[in-house]
Each structure stands twice: as structure tokens, then as C-alpha cells.
């Protein structure tokens, strides 16, 4: 990770920071007073997530921070929070292998801690303590019912900062994987390993110990060992050295198309607009993974509506 040539390396001038982020000097002196976000709980099935949606001005500032930090060159194995990388590039890195180990970090964002964020700005970026503190306060929020701040879900900066702040953890794991001739990728809280030889329990145990040394826990239900069979890697099915979309996406496209036909019969314009938008998103995702899709008739239909 090359940081020393970055324009924010050793930055120490509050006036420069004020102009860069469009924040008044007096606001920089009391971040919590002028920049904070109310959270809400989002429930999907049995899973609950605490989401922090920043207000428009705050969101613009966070996007500026993210743009500024995104010019830091990260290793190729990092696929989350990096421009030009995605869940598809993450899966594609493993396409030629037949043995897999997938590890998911439990409650990743809520488990992050402000001290690692501060350490990145203070020790890696070599910022003075007051500037590092400003950046830390801007990009973290107090975790409800806990006594520390964390990288909140909903902030544009969280995905990239989770990598930058915990880079040493990911790099330790990567060095170990490289030593064992195992391919590794990271997509936010999903760590995927692959090889053309079985990946042993000792390897898995050592990786988990490294993760736990940073006060994270591994989700045993989402820790998957697979050998010589199709596998879902970050939403992409790897099968016989090809990438396929999951069957549930195919089914969703068919279901949405049937729903669209019913809406057209009822001439429900508002519902039709919503369904077209959803279908376009699904078809784009299909094309992105497989390069083409068998739903050209649906694509033609919605383009003509």
C-alpha cells in the first residue's frame, strides 16, 4: 500500500483541510456538534442492521473524503470499496480453481473500532493528532449501546476505510495465503481462498486466529469449505471455469416480467415504472456476470415501453 506520495500524507494545515472538505474552521473544532447522523434499524428477514444515512451536506463531505482516499493504490486482492473492482472481479480471481474456503466476519461494520481508524490517519498517513482525530470523528459514529465508535453502514467512506484501517490484518492473512500458494481475495467482510489442492483445517484455524486477534469473530454458519463443485462466491456461481448468476436471479427476472405483464393489463403506470426499473437492474447484473443473457425479449419489451 503506497501512501507516502499521497497528497494527504503528513497534512497538518487546518485551513487546507477546511477548504478541501468545505467545512468551516469552527466546525472542525466541534465535529460531533455539527456532524452526526441518526440511525435506524433495517430488518431483512431475521437479520437486523443499524443504518446511518448522513444528511446531504455531510454525505457530500464523506464522498470527498472517499474520493481523496481512493487514490491510494491497494493490492489486487482487495475488491471491495475500490474503483473498478466489484463482486464480479472478486469471484473471477478464483475461476480457475476447484478448492475453496470462504470466511465471513460476523457483524463486520459494528465490530470495527475507531482506534484502528485513528491509527490509519495518525500512523499510516502521519497526520498530527488533531487532524487524525477530525478525520476519525467525521468517518465514525458511536455504536448504539456501546462505548466506542465504529465505521457505520451507510457512510460512503466505510467500505474503503475498513480496508485501510485494518490493512495490517488483511495483509497478514494474504502473506500467509501466498506462502501456502493459495489465492486470496477480500470483498468487504467476505474473505475467499482458492487453490487446486485441498485447503486444510490448519490453514483455516490460523486465518481465524489472525482475524480474532483484531477483535473480530468469524461467522461459522457462513464459513464454507468446498471441493470440486459449483460454489457461490460473493453472489457469482463458479462452475467449470465459468461465471454464472444464481438461479434466484433468473427466477426474479421471470417473476418481475410476469408482474409487469399484469401491471400492463391494469394500465398501472406507477407500478409499471417501478417494475421496469427493477428489471433493468436485474438484466444489467445478469449481463455483468455472464456477458449476455437469454432474456433479450424482455429487454426489448421494456426498452419499447
Condensed to tens digits (0 to 9), the pLDDT of residues 242-268 reads 999 999 999 999 999 999 999 998 888
Q: Would you call 192 helix, strand, or coil by DSSP?
A: strand
The confidence band for 145, taking pLDDT boundaries of 50, 70 and 90, is: confident
CA-CA-CA-CA torsion sign (45, 50, 55, 56): negative
The confidence band for 44, taking pLDDT boundaries of 50, 70 and 90, is: confident
Q: Measure the CA–CA gap between 10 and 127, rounded to whole angstroms.
A: 5
**Which percentage of the chain shows pLDDT scores above 90?**
80
Predicted local confidence at residue 88, as pLDDT: 95
> What Cα–Cα distance (Å) separates residue 69 from each residue in 37, 84, 135, 165?
22, 15, 11, 12
Q: Strand order of the sheet with strand 231-233?
A: 231-233, 236-239, 242-244
pLDDT score of 76 more than 90? yes
Q: Measure the CA–CA gap between 147 and 140, rounded to whole angstroms.
A: 13
Predicted local confidence at residue 144, as pLDDT: 79
Pairing state of beta strands 231-233 and 236-239? antiparallel
pTM of the full predicted structure? 0.89
Residue found under cell 483484531: 214
CB-CB contact of 71 with 61 (8 Å): no
Amino acid at each position: 500500500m503506497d501512501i507516502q506520495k499521497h497528497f494527504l500524507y503528513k497534512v497538518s494545515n487546518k485551513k487546507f483541510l477546511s477548504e478541501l472538505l468545505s467545512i468551516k474552521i469552527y466546525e472542525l473544532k466541534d465535529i460531533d456538534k455539527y456532524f452526526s447522523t441518526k440511525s435506524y434499524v433495517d430488518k431483512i428477514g431475521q437479520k437486523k442492521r443499524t443504518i446511518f444515512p448522513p444528511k446531504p451536506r455531510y454525505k457530500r463531505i464523506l464522498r470527498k473524503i472517499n474520493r481523496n482516499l481512493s487514490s491510494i493504490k491497494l493490492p489486487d486482492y482487495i475488491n471491495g470499496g475500490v474503483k473498478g473492482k466489484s463482486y464480479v472481479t472478486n469471484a473471477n480471481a478464483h475461476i480457475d480453481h476447484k478448492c475453496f474456503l470462504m470466511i465471513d466476519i460476523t457483524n463486520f461494520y459494528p465490530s470495527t473500532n475507531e482506534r484502528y481508524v485513528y491509527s490509519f490517519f495518525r500512523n499510516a498517513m502521519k497526520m498530527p493528532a488533531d487532524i487524525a482525530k477530525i478525520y476519525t470523528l467525521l468517518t465514525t459514529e458511536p455504536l448504539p449501546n456501546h462505548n466506542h465508535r465504529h465505521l457505520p453502514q451507510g457512510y460512503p467512506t466505510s467500505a474503503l476505510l475498513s480496508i485501510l484501517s485494518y490493512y495490517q490484518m488483511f495483509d497478514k492473512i494474504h502473506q500467509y495465503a501466498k506462502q501456502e500458494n493459495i489465492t486470496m481475495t477480500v470483498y468487504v467482510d467476505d474473505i475467499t481462498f482458492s487453490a487446486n489442492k485441498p485447503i486444510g483445517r490448519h490453514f483455516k484455524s490460523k486465518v481465524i486466529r489472525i482475524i480474532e486477534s483484531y477483535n473480530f469473530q468469524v461467522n461459522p454458519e457462513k464459513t464454507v469449505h468446498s471441493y470440486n463443485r459449483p460454489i457461490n462466491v460473493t453472489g457469482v456461481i463458479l462452475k467449470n471455469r465459468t461465471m454464472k448468476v444464481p438461479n434466484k436471479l433468473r427466477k426474479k427476472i421471470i417473476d418481475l416480467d410476469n408482474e409487469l405483464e399484469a401491471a400492463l393489463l391494469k394500465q398501472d403506470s406507477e407500478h409499471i415504472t417501478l417494475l421496469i426499473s427493477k428489471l433493468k437492474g436485474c438484466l444489467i447484473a445478469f449481463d455483468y456476470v455472464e456477458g449476455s443473457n437469454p432474456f433479450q425479449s424482455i429487454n426489448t419489451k421494456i426498452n419499447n415501453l
